[in-house]
């Protein structure tokens, strides 16, 4: 609990601060809970679906979801990734978190290891451990791109999969084609040596990418890919718990994997993804919330922080930024931020990486404008110009 | 995997039969997927909520769910039990199945034992084993009530909980106040000796009870009680995955347990119960689908079975009936039923050979339509 409690702890400290100083005087950048609303079209579709109210629309369906919805998604995936996805390759899940859990339960045996590039979303650790697996965090490069040599060294007989997340929480980095090709080469090399490894790709932020940065087609770079995504961010539906698993058409015997996923979703208590939102999201695969809005926020905040002297890798996607802490002990630093400027962020150790802190900038623009002065003052006080 | 696959295996064989003989000629009693629709008032309320389009209504909320919804549910439990429930005691979950997993993850250490009366809903085994627990099956009496003596003998130092499910799947039995008091008294004995054993009560069917039979409030009978329920059956929303955990206010240091469940809800990947459905169900705690419809179906299927010569305990609730198989081998018998156009699940799928389960949450005409086939099968075995 110690390591994961950070996001929530900061959130709760924030609530206390808000009570003391008033909401408008607190700058809470601790939670990835976007303030945006779902696309208007989607809200209309939701009302229309409920007004039509087809008989049986709230009943159980197959554990993997409605076939017509999976068909719609498969069509989208086929267009996007140029591979022969069918409805059978799509498995509706209760968001990304639900999808990852049923995938991990389906592929892991007790003691199997899963490599996760560090820093990482701390929940991955729990997801892996819940199903008897062992997490092997592997440090990334200074750019937060994958360190292929380090991944190579971390692979052993027990390694079952590598779990990546791009665009990345907490760094906002998008893995380059070169990086992913390097990873694929390594995994293919291992295959030749008789060791088969899955690539699990958490694609929750895949539509939140700035400056037309390329999101490499992971399904074409490696064959044994299981992608897990959600509509929490792109359609701004985090509370509704809706997402899906996309199994690469390159994976043999997809039926066996789907049966395992069905069993896992029943055994873990998900049973199926929520019915109503399955029906709604099928038609919105090409939509997304306004990216430019996020991009503007990223630009303002990134430019202000770097101008003030913070060291930070420029985020290419998602809505997180992961600057270096000016003080070696980032815990001390975030307490200063909180005390002196009422700015709430999450310490890097909440993501397995001390000496950094995470800013979630999915907040109203006024909050971003309002916080700039605070960061500037803090920088003047604590960043020693070298 | 093998023991769980019966329901699905039967379902799939059924699909083949339907193709072969035509859907109208196959009488499928395998799945507990009710054909009932949610109450009309609920459907209206759902449209009203989405039309009102409150800002932020699809965002994350606290992992335990919306406070005002939990307060509505707490109020319901205050009225029912006269115990001081507050919203803190209610955690919104992804149905009963989600709620059971959350509770078991919260209370079990590896190798801890959980007692389950048999026959039982086979998923319980997976829920327990997911979190390192060991299931200890204890046979019920011949009419499927709790055998308190056997339960007492099954308790060991590692026993952490007993799961009860009343009204019961697959038998339709509702536990009486007396037997629950009996259970409470042996658990209280253990408590005095220093061992706390939770009653984990799966009440997914609690509103589907016939002939006005009393449903004892377990919270008033035993302190260390956790209730898990869902709105899959009473509000006919199984596909939407909405339910909740209610933790007794009488549990000592209950806040530890409450915090553990909220944490488990997150790390098991549920995060929170679906937002829109949470907003919906708070106001419908007193409502239910039409019980009389189910009761008519229960009476019909029960009478058909009796007239066909089956030995069967009359269900008091839920929408399942669990007759004896005329031959010992229930799998063989279910295959025989199949040849006579009837699809059922063998008792072995619920840990009890020699029986079979019929889920009668289907159209009444389907039940009537199956009469001649049950009669035929019954006649065959009387010969």
Burial class (CB in 10 A: 0-12, 13-18, 19+), A103: buried
Measured between CA atoms, how close is B265 to chain A, in angstroms?
Answer: 11
**Chain A residues touching residue B276 (CB < 8 angstroms):** 239-240, 276-277
SS3 state at B92: strand
pLDDT-derived band at A369 (thresholds 50, 70, 90) equals: very high
Taking only the tens place, the pLDDT of each residue in A29-54 is 998 888 788 999 999 999 999 999 89
Closest CA to B247 of B91, B128, B102, B108: B91
What residues contact B98, with CB distance under 8 A and at least 6 apart?
A: A269, A270, A271, B241, B243, B265, B268, B270, B273
Please confirm whether the linkage preceding A119 is cis (ω < 30° from 0): yes
- pLDDT of A386 > 60? The answer is no
Q: Which domains does chain A have, with CATH numbers?
A: 6-36+290-384 (3.90.1150.10), 41-281 (3.40.640.10)
Distance CA B117, CA B139 (A): 6
Type and span of the H or E element at A246: strand A243-247
Q: What is the distance between the alpha carbons of residues B103 and B258, in angstroms, rounded to a whole number?
A: 9
8 A C-beta contact, residue B38 and residue B237: yes
pLDDT for position A3: 47
pLDDT-above-90 percentage for chain A = 88
Tally Cβ neighbours within 10 Å of residue B25.
Answer: 12
Label residue A4 by pLDDT band (50, 70, 90): low
State how beta strands A243-247 and A225-230 pair: antiparallel
Q: Which of A344, A283, A272 is nearest to A33 (CA)?
A: A344
pLDDT tens sequence across A234-274: 899 999 999 999 999 999 999 999 999 999 999 999 999 99
Is omega for the bond preceding B193 within 30 degrees of 0, making it cis?
no
Residues of chain B contacting residue A58, judged by C-beta atoms under 8 Å apart: 37-38, 236-240
pLDDT in tens, A111-136: 999 999 999 999 999 999 999 999 99
pLDDT at A179 over 90: yes
pTM here is 0.94
Q: Which of A33, A53, A61 sits opposite B239 (nearest CB)?
A: A61
What is the rounded distance in angstroms from the CA atom of residue A257 to the CA atom of residue A251?
9
pLDDT tens track for A326-341: 999 999 999 999 999 9
Chain A interface, best mutation among B92, B239, B265, by max A CB count within 10 A? B239
Specify whether the CB–CB gap between A359 and A365 falls below 8 A: no
Q: Do B58 and A269 touch (CB under 8 A)?
A: no
Cβ of A319 under 8 Å from any chain B Cβ? no
Question: Using an 8 Å Cβ cutoff, are A47 and B51 in contact?
Answer: yes
Cβ under 8 Å to A: B residues 31-90: 31, 33-35, 37-38, 43, 46-47, 50-51, 53, 55-61
A131-141, pLDDT tens digit by residue? Answer: 999 999 999 99
Residue A36's pLDDT is: 85
Q: Does B130 touch chain A (CB under 8 A)?
A: yes
CB atoms within 10 A of CB A79: 11
Query: What pLDDT digit, counting tens, does each position of A180-232 carry?
Result: 999 999 999 999 999 999 999 999 999 999 999 999 999 999 999 999 999 99
d(CA A353, CA A119): 5
Give pLDDT, residue B117: 98
Among B363, B303, B325, which Cα is nearest to B29's? Answer: B363
For each successive 10 residues of chain B (383 residues), what is the average pLDDT? 61 81 90 86 94 89 94 97 98 98 97 98 96 98 98 98 98 98 98 98 95 95 98 92 98 96 96 96 86 95 98 97 97 94 94 97 95 97 84
- Please check the confidence at residue A1 and state whether its pLDDT lies above 50: no
CA distance B257 to chain A (A): 14
Give ipTM to 2 decimals: 0.93
**According to the model, what pLDDT value does residue B101 have?**
98
Chain A: residue whose CA lies nearest to B60 = A239
> Is there a contact between B235 and A58 (Cβ–Cβ < 8 Å)?
no
The end-to-end CA distance of chain B, in Å, is 37
pLDDT value at position B5? 65
């Amino acid at each position: 609990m110690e390591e994961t409690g950070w996001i929530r702890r900061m959130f709760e400290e924030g609530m206390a601060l808000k009570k003391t100083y008033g909401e408008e005087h607190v700058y809470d950048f601790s939670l990835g809970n976007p303030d945006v609303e779902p696309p208007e079209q989607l809200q209309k579709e939701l009302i229309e679906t409920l007004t039509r109210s087809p008989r049986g629309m709230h009943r159980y369906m197959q554990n993997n979801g409605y076939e017509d919805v999976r068909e719609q998604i498969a069509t989208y995936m086929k267009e996007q990734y140029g591979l022969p996805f069918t409805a059978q390759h799509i498995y509706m899940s209760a968001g990304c978190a639900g999808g990852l859990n049923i995938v991990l339960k389906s592929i892991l045996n007790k003691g199997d290891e899963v490599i996760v590039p560090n820093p990482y979303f701390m929940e991955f650790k729990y997801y892996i451990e819940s199903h008897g697996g062992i997490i092997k965090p592997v440090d990334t490069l200074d750019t937060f791109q994958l360190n292929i040599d380090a991944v190579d060294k971390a692979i052993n007989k027990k390694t079952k999969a590598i779990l990546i997340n791009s665009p990345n929480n907490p760094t906002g980095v998008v893995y380059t084609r070169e990086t992913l090709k390097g990873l694929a080469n390594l995994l293919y090399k291992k295959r030749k040596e008789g060791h088969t490894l899955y690539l699990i790709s958490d694609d929750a932020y895949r539509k939140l990418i700035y400056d037309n940065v390329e999101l490499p087609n992971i399904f074409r770079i490696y064959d044994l890919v299981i992608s897990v995504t959600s509509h929490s961010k792109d359609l701004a539906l985090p509370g509704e718990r809706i997402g899906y698993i996309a199994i690469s058409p390159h994976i043999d015997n997809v039926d066996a994997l789907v049966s395992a996923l069905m069993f896992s979703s029943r055994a873990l208590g998900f049973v199926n993804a929520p019915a109503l939102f399955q029906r709604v999201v099928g038609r919105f695969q090409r939509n997304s919330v306004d990216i430019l809005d996020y991009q503007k926020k990223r630009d303002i905040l990134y430019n202000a922080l770097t101008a003030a002297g913070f060291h930070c890798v420029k985020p290419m996607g998602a809505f997180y930024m992961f600057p270096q802490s000016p003080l070696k002990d980032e815990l001390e630093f975030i307490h200063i931020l909180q005390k002196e400027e009422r700015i709430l962020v999450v310490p890097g150790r909440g993501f397995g990486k001390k000496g950094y802190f995470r800013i979630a900038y999915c907040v109203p623009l006024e909050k971003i404008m309002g916080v700039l002065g605070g960061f500037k003052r803090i920088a003047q006080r604590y960043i020693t110009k070298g | 995997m093998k023991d769980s696959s019966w329901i699905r295996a039967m379902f799939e064989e059924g699909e083949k039969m339907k193709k072969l003989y035509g859907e109208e000629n196959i009488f499928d009693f395998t799945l507990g997927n009710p054909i009932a629709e949610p109450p009309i008032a609920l459907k209206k309320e759902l449209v009203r909520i989405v039309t009102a389009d409150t800002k932020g209504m699809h965002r994350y909320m606290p992992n335990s769910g919306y406070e005002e919804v939990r307060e509505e549910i707490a109020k319901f439990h205050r009225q029912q039990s006269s115990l001081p429930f507050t919203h803190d005691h209610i955690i919104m979950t992804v149905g009963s199945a989600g709620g059971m997993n959350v509770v078991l993850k919260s209370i079990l250490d590896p190798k801890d034992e959980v007692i389950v009366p048999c026959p039982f809903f086979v998923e319980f085994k997976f829920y327990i084993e997911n979190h390192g627990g060991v299931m200890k099956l204890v046979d019920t009496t011949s009419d499927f009530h709790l055998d308190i003596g056997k339960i007492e003998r099954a308790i060991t130092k590692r026993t952490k909980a007993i799961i009860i499910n009343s009204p019961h799947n697959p038998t339709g039995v509702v536990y009486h106040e007396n037997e629950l008091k009996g259970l409470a008294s042996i658990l209280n004995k253990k408590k005095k000796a220093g061992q706390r054993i939770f009653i984990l009560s799966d009440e997914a069917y609690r509103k589907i009870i016939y002939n006005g039979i009393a449903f004892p409030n377990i919270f008033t009978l035993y302190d260390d009680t956790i209730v898990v329920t869902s709105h899959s059956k009473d509000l006919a929303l199984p596909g939407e995955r909405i339910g909740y955990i209610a933790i007794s206010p009488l549990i000592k240091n209950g806040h530890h347990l409450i915090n553990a469940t909220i944490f488990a809800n997150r790390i098991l990947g549920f995060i929170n119960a679906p937002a829109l459905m949470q907003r919906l169900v708070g106001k419908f705690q007193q409502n239910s689908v039409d019980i009389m419809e189910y009761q008519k179906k229960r009476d019909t299927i029960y009478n058909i079975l009796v007239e066909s010569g089956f030995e069967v305990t009359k269900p008091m609730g839920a929408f399942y009936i669990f007759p004896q198989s005329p031959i010992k081998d229930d799998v063989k018998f279910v295959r025989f039923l199949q040849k006579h156009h009837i699809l059922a699940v063998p008792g072995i799928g619920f840990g009890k050979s020699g029986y079979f389960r019929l889920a009668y949450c289907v159209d009444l005409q389907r039940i009537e339509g199956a009469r001649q086939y049950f009669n035929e099968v019954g006649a065959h075995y009387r010969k």
